[in-house]
């Protein structure tokens, strides 16, 4: 997938903001919905391979 291009600028860091290693975890993702993906096409096959071999995207890249 090509990267998403966002042309609006990021905000300036507010005065006094601080966090360990500059990262602050705040919330969790909402519950996901289980759906059936179609077992069709090259990208599905890559998905199935990763799932069956329990591999991640970066392991897959290598």
Partner 1 sequence: MSEENSPAQRVAIGISFGNSYSSIGFTSAEGKAEVIANEEGDRQIPSILSYVDGEEFQGTQAKAQLVRNAKNTVAYFRDFLGQEFKSIDPTPCHQSAHPVQHESTIAFKIKDGADETENTVTVSEITTRHLRRLKNSASDYLGKDVNAAVITVPTNFGDTQKEALTKAAKEAGIEVLQFINEPVAAVLAYDARPEAKLSDKIVVVADLGGIRSDVAVIASRGGIYTILATAHDYDVAGTQLDKVLMDHFAKEFMKKHKTGGDPRENDRSLAKLKLESEAVKKALSIGASANFSVESLANGIDYTATINRSRYELLASKHFQAFTRLVTHAVEKAELDPLDISEIILAGGSAHTPRIASSLQSAFPETTTVLAPSTSPTALNPSELAVRGAAIQASLVQEFDVEDIVQSTHPMVTVTPHLSHAVGVLCISDSEESGVFQSIVDAETPLPVRRTAIISTPREGGDVLIKLTEGARHIKVTKPEPKPKAEKTKSDSDDEDSDEDSEEEEEIREKTWKVGKVLAEAALKELKKGAKVEVQINIDANLNVNCIFREVGGKGGVRGLLAGGKGQNGSA
Minimum CB separation from partner 1 for residue 62, in Å? Answer: 14
Rounded Cα distance, 3 and 44, in Å: 20
- By CB atoms closer than 10 A (0-12, 13-18, 19+), residue 40 is exposed
Q: Minimal distance in Å, beta carbon 48 to partner 1?
A: 4
Closest approach of Cβ 29 to partner 1, in Å?
Answer: 5
Distance separating alpha carbons of residues 59 and 51, to the nearest angstrom: 12
Residue ranges in 22-51 that form contacts with partner 1 under rule CB under 8 A: 22-45, 47-48, 50-51
The residue ranges that bind partner 1 (CB under 8 A) are 1-14, 17, 19, 21-45, 47-48, 50-52, 56-57
């Amino acid at each position: 997938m090509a990267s998403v291009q966002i042309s609006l600028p990021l905000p300036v860091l507010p005065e006094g903001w601080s966090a360990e290693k500059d990262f602050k975890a705040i919330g969790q993702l909402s519950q996901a919905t289980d759906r059936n993906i179609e077992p069709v096409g090259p990208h599905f096959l890559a998905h199935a391979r990763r799932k069956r071999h329990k591999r991640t995207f970066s392991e897959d890249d290598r």
